[in-house]
Structures are given as C-alpha cells and as structure tokens.
Amino acid sequence: MTSARTPVPLERLRIVPANESSQEDLTAVFGTADYSGRCRCQRFKVIGWMPRDSTQEQRTGMLWEQTGCGEPDAESTSGLVAYLDGEPVGWVAVEPRTAYPKLRTSRVPWKGRTEDKDDDGVWAVTCFVVRKGYRGRGLTYPLARAAVDFARDRGARALEAYAMTTQPGKEITWGELHVGAVQVFEEAGFSAVTRPTVRRVVMRVEFDG
C-alpha cells in the first residue's frame, strides 16, 4: 500500500490550464468543508472582508467564471489543475497581478518597493490547494514550476509570489500556507525581493525578453 506521505511520481502527474478541467474536478480539489472550499480562491479578489462582502454562492460563481472550466478554447483562465493518474489533486492560481484587486490595496506586498501596481506584465502566484488525502506529498513543487512555464508562455515579463517561511518542527496550518512556502518557490527559480514581515517573503522570477 502506498504511504499517504510518499512523494508523487512526476511521470504520473499531468497539469493543465483550468479551462481544460471541469467544475466537478475543481470541486473535488477544493472540497467543501475547510478553508479552500469556503474561499474558492477569492481571498485576493473580493474587496473588503470576504465572509461579510461575499457569499459562498458568489465566490463559487466567481471561480467558475475566472477559470472558464469546461471551455478548452477560452482565451484566459485563472489557474492550473493537477491530475495524478487521472484524478484531480491540486490547484495553483496564476494570473496577471492586476487581476487581484485586494492584492493591489494590501500594504504588505509593496512594503519597501516602488513600482507600477497597474503593470499587467507582472503576474502573480497567489494560492495553492491540494486535495485532502494528497497533502504532504510535494504537489506544490511541480505546480509552482508549471505556473512559471504557464506565465512565461502567456507573455508575462515576471512572476511574483508572496511566500511564507516555515520552521523545522513547527506546525503550520494548511490555511496559512496556501500562498506557498519559500522553499517551493526557490526550487522553481524564484529569488527573494523583500521581506515585508517576519514570516512573509516577496519572491520573483524574471523572464528574458
């Protein structure tokens, strides 16, 4: 029997744009009970306090519209979906940075930086979701690498992330770590830009040309 903590074999993994996925597959990844199921990757999309200023139904509808699920010819989508042996197991949100209005108004990502917040040539990775039963198997690493390739192929000049530092032996909740861990982005080629808080690191990879 395969251990729940056994690293995912990359040769059995397929990662596709979310518009090539289905609502049923994304629902399986996000679940319905924990933070990801309630948020539906709308933390940086909803202006204001998310539980007060949006409903679960609205957030779900926003996700379907943003991803274009079931529309393989869609010109844009908001993330990527990972499949292990055909089973949907993971998600990463990756879009132009300007697609996240809450990110634009947050102070933390911009602390110590002066640049054009409306520059849509800079993309951002804002969220990872790994389906329950598949967590702890390293799925965020290939998802981060796939996000780099996706952003580059779609014309991004750079890709940012807002990673969290982790400490050996210290427990951290999945809800906190949805932005991704520093080591995940380091392995995908990102470098630290600023450290706006004790635990938060703005990371970035620049694309040639």
24 in a structural domain: yes
Identify the sign of the CA torsion 183, 205, 44, 13. Answer: negative
Number of domains in the chain: 1
- Quote the strand ranges of the chain, DSSP E: 13-17, 79-84, 87-96, 122-130, 158-164, 191-194, 200-206
pLDDT in tens, the chain (209 residues): 344 578 899 999 999 999 999 999 999 999 977 788 889 999 999 988 888 888 999 999 999 999 999 999 999 999 999 999 999 999 999 999 999 999 888 888 899 898 899 999 999 999 999 999 998 899 999 999 999 999 999 999 999 999 998 866 555 555 567 899 999 999 999 999 999 988 899 999 999 86
Amino acid at 196: P
The verdict on pTM exceeding 0.85 is yes
- Edge-to-edge strand ranges of the sheet holding 122-130: 13-17, 79-84, 87-96, 122-130, 158-164, 200-206, 191-194
| CATH number, position 198 | 3.40.630.30
In a domain, 6, yes or no: no
